[in-house]
Amino acid sequence: MSRLSQPSAMNYNSTAPLIELHDISFSYPGSKTPALDELNFIPDQGKVGLIGPNGSGKTTLFHIIMGLLKPSDGQMLFKGKPLLKEKDFRKLRQEVGLLFQDADDQLFSPTVLEDVAFGPLNLKISPAKAREMAGQILKKLRLSDLEERVTHQLSGGEKKLVSLATILVMEPKLLLLDEPTNNLDSATRSRLIEILGSLEISCIIISHDWDFLAASTAEIYAMENGRLIRSGKSSLHNHFHVHLHGGQPHEHGG
Ligand SMILES: Nc1ncnc2c1ncn2[C@@H]1O[C@H](COP(=O)(O)OP(=O)(O)OP(=O)(O)O)[C@@H](O)[C@H]1O
Ligand SMILES: [Mg+2]
């Protein structure tokens, strides 16, 4: 049997990109237009941004990468190896963390400390060690005051930061952040920018907040109608003058 006919038997390649998406298509059941349409994406290492109009498929793309949705077509690779089965995605999820667009999708334990300790406990780390790891990451994010709080009673901004703690405690190599600055006040937003700046891991950050992306990423990809239409921060620019695009990134012809 040829090697190609047994892709799942291939080994991970340490020099390959962490994630590659080739010609990925996905449609939600009953929808006439695909949410992802033969999309190709090999994100750069480091921190990159992803912008695009509402409904252009950004969140869907993250859910496809995590294996929460299955593409109808195309190929996805993790460290050079095809992602085919749930067990391949379980491996990916040990190294890739997703901050959900809605923090209520992320948090489910009674208290903050239990929520942050949940991931390590799930990896069969001892309860004492898991609590210690949770305490450390909360301290690093200056959230120790929230440890014993009831998770569902936190404010939206607090939930966002605690959600980030539940992911960072797992020490991911790649962080997918879906609109992390949504509903944050300017102080919390600045704190998030500072936290992200201090992380030495790759991040893909979906945001409509151009200033935030400009401050926290080296490269920006743009999405439209389920496709990545362009990449390159230099091809998009941001300035303030009176026309339709306001402060949004845009291009001028000529
Ligand atoms: N569960 C679902 N069932 C059916 N259609 C869906 C579902 N989730 C999203 N869609 C549709 O798929 C398309 C892409 O949605 P997606 O949430 O990926 O967009 P987005 O770029 O993240 O938008 P936003 O900026 O508003 O968060 C939209 O047309 C949306 O209405
Ligand atoms: Mg979205």
Helix (H) or strand (E) holding 116: helix 112-122
Q: How far is the CA of 120 from the centre of ligand 2 (A)?
A: 28
Q: Is the CB of 226 under 6 A from ligand 1?
A: no
Parallel, antiparallel or unpaired: strands 174-178 and 73-78: unpaired
Distance 221 CA to ligand 1 centre (A): 18
DSSP structure class, residue 11: P
Residue 252, pLDDT score: 52
Grade residue 210 by pLDDT with cuts at 50, 70 and 90: confident
Taking the centre of ligand 1 as the mean of its atom positions, its distance from the CA of residue 53, in whole angstroms, is: 11
**Ligand 1 close to Cβ of residue 106 (< 6 A):** no
Q: What is the pLDDT of residue 5?
A: 43
Read out DSSP for 118-146? Answer: HHHHHTT--HHHHHHHHHHHHHHTT-GGG
SS3 (DSSP) at 147? coil
Report pLDDT digits (tens) over 109-167: 999 999 999 999 998 999 999 999 999 999 999 999 999 999 999 999 999 999 999 99
Ligand 1 nearest atom to the CA of residue 208, by list position = 25
* Sign for the pseudo-dihedral over CA of 113, 116, 118, 121: negative
- Residue owning the nearest CA to atom 18 of ligand 1: 57
**Confidence band, pLDDT 50/70/90 cuts, at residue 222:** very high
pTM attached to this predicted model: 0.87
Nearest CA to ligand 1 atom 17: 59
pLDDT of residue 236: 52
- Which pLDDT band holds residue 240 (cuts at 50, 70, 90)? very low
Q: Residue 35: nearest ligand to its CA? A: 1
Residues with CB under 5 A from ligand 2 (ion): 58-59, 101
Q: b or e along 74-103 (b: 16 or more beta carbons within 10 Å of the residue's beta carbon)?
A: bebbbbebebeeeebbeebbebbbbbbbeb
Strands 81-82 and 73-78: antiparallel
**pLDDT tens, residue by residue, 57-115:** 999 999 999 999 999 999 999 999 999 999 999 999 999 999 999 999 999 999 999 99
- Distance between CA atoms of 194 and 12, rounded to whole angstroms? 33
Distance CA 189, CA 187 (A): 5
User: What confidence score (pLDDT) does residue 206 get?
Assistant: 97
Which residue lies with its CA nearest to atom 19 of ligand 1? Answer: 55
pLDDT for the residue numbered 238: 47
Q: What is the mean pLDDT of the chain?
A: 88
pLDDT tier at 2, thresholds 50, 70, 90:
very low
* Closest approach atom of ligand 1 to CA 61: 18
Task: Tell me, in angstroms, the distance from the centre of ligand 1 to residue 203's CA.
Answer: 21
Give the range among 160-164, 174-178, 212-216, 221-225 with minimum mean pLDDT. Answer: 212-216
Expressed in angstroms, the distance from the first to the final Cα of the chain is 55
Is ligand 1 within 6 A of the CB of residue 14?
Answer: no
What pLDDT, on the 0 to 100 scale, is given for residue 241?
A: 39
Mean pLDDT, to the nearest integer, of 20-35? Answer: 97
Query: Among candidates 184, 191, 146, which has minimal Cα distance to 166?
Result: 146
pLDDT at 53 over 60: yes
- The domains of the chain are located at 7-235
Under CATH, to which class is 7-235 assigned? alpha beta
Q: Does the C-beta of 57 come closer than 6 Å to ligand 1?
A: yes
Cα–Cα distance, 13 to 247 (Å, whole number): 42
Q: Name the 3-class secondary structure at 174.
A: strand
